[in-house]
Structure 1
Amino acid sequence: MKLVKGLLLAATLVGQAALAQSTGDYPNKHVRLVVPFGAGSASDTVARIVAEEVRSRMGVVIVDNKQGANGIIGAGSVAKAVPDGYTLLLTSSSTHSGIGALFKQPGYDPLKDFVHIGRIATIPMILVVRPDAPFNSAQELATQARKTPLRYAYGSGSAQIAGATFSIVANAPSDAIPYKSQPPAITDLLGGQVDYVLADASVVTSFLRAGRLRGLAITGLQRAKDLPEVPTMTQAGYPSFDLVVWVGLAAPAGTPEPIVVLWNKEVASALSKPEVVAKLARLGMVASPNTQQQQAEFALAQRDIWVTRAAKAGIQAE
């Protein structure tokens, strides 16, 4: 047993030495992590958590918010950046899963223009309504939507495809009311301007805890630990709801492989810490590290799912 442990330790040290040699003196200056959404957003908070956790090993990581056009401005700028490992992008389902279904020419290819480093977290979506809504479950909502002479309306925010997908999967005839982001949609839900919203857990968890909203279903394989009363989509009767909201890390295509491997290792190390997992959980996120290959396959699969769902929902790319 001691021999085996010794061999494993030796192999690990050799691997670390080889990685250090292949990356040279990288990084020898600040790394810029572009967040394609505004300061204070969930994506921005995740970026700052990661930046702080890798600081001791990777040096200062500057978080650069380049918001606008559903993430296109920030993502497009990284796609055109020099692939030297000093410009990275906080990716997401918004910028790399559903973007092709919403825009004919976003200005970048979510797969060809990037090398996916790894996933950071997944974000459950929650179907929320007002506490005084005349239905107590997702299926009751769908039934009422089919019966009412006035069509229900849902706020789409940045989850336009998700809301349309639920409407179709649940056979709940509803009109989409577009918003630039999810918070304004929640504001109008609270004010009675829309009937329901399918929003990121990070956006609505505080409202649920305060009793200002009620959750009817949550995406994911299991219920949220801090929202045990909210059933999963499968438990609510909709197992075919297969969209995943996620956040990851990527670099411009052509970035040296050793640097990509190094970043995957550092992100995985950060996400192995209980305190980091807890920080993400407080944001309504689930730490979900994976390998570079797994993330590339995941991003491709989710791109196909989101685009297919959008087409079935009749969403036309602009």
Structure 2
Amino acid sequence: MIQPALLKKQRLILFLLLALILISVVLGMGMGYASLSYDRLLPTILGQGTFKEEFVLFSIRLPRMIITLLAGMALALSGAILQGITRNDLADPGIIGINSGAGVAVAIFFLFFPIDAGSFVYLLPLVAFVGALLTACLLYVFSYNKNTGLQPVKLVLVGVGFAMAFSGLMIVLISSAERAKVDFIAKWLNGNIWGTDWPFIWAILPWLIILIPFTLYKANRLNLLGVSEPVAIGVGVSIEKERIVLMLTAVALAAAAVSVTGGITFIGLIAPHIAKALVGPRNQLFIPIAILLGGWLLLLADTIGRNVASPDGIPAGIMVALIGAPYFVYLLLKK
């Protein structure tokens, strides 16, 4: 049973995070290369703005911020699941190569297959999912031992190796590509939010609507998998079945995010850790906080990045890495 004091603390933190997200969205709507005064935001939202104001808000700012928020949520939840099923605090879809595998699949699809503009946006998450799933299968095979099961430390080491290999493969792929397509993949590698239109929101949103409630439903299973295998077996949990289902969930979430944001790392590492530090390790408590925290962190990183250097700004992936890389080294030394 969860203590009422912890539940109250969780609700307070969720409320504060929602307030932070709202404040960040409002601030972000008025900031950028094309300025939009804050006293014109409400009239523009209500349809009383000029053509320029409505174009800047509804065609540039708002879709980008929603995409960033959703992608951050997906990456944070993916990281929380991976940390639970591997019992490794360093597991993150970007660090262990899942994002890179998804990116290679997107690059191959983009470079070598005929693309219909109408269906391209909606096919991307599926293509990314196939690439991420193949990567996850390889990771599982190389880090599994028939006597001891899944080896958490080996998983991270193998994953880092795969991430580097896929980065090299990406460079090989773009070496003979057209200039326009090379620019797209270069943006992806930097973690530049490139899917900044409303269709990309409709492409990623169904994955979150389905997989967030499903993960919360499986939260107790994640608790048991995180303790130890004998305990989980003792209470009747089918370990391999649950691990595979949850791994597929984490892969799908990471793939959906990667398909519109590019190679962003460390959100899935940082958000679950901060959430656990706030309310403890029970998945029912920290997962909702990690989801909102991941969305806010990526939104904040992108807002700062696109306003630091005009007009192109600094990619969100680089901004997140500036925070995440030292944190990763700290965890590595600590663990």
Pairwise TM-score range, normalised by the shorter structure: under 0.3
Bigger fraction of residues in strand? 1
Q: Which structure is larger by alpha-carbon Rg, 1 or 2?
A: 1
Q: Which has the higher contact order (CA 8 A, sep 6+)?
A: 2
Bigger fraction of residues in helix? 2
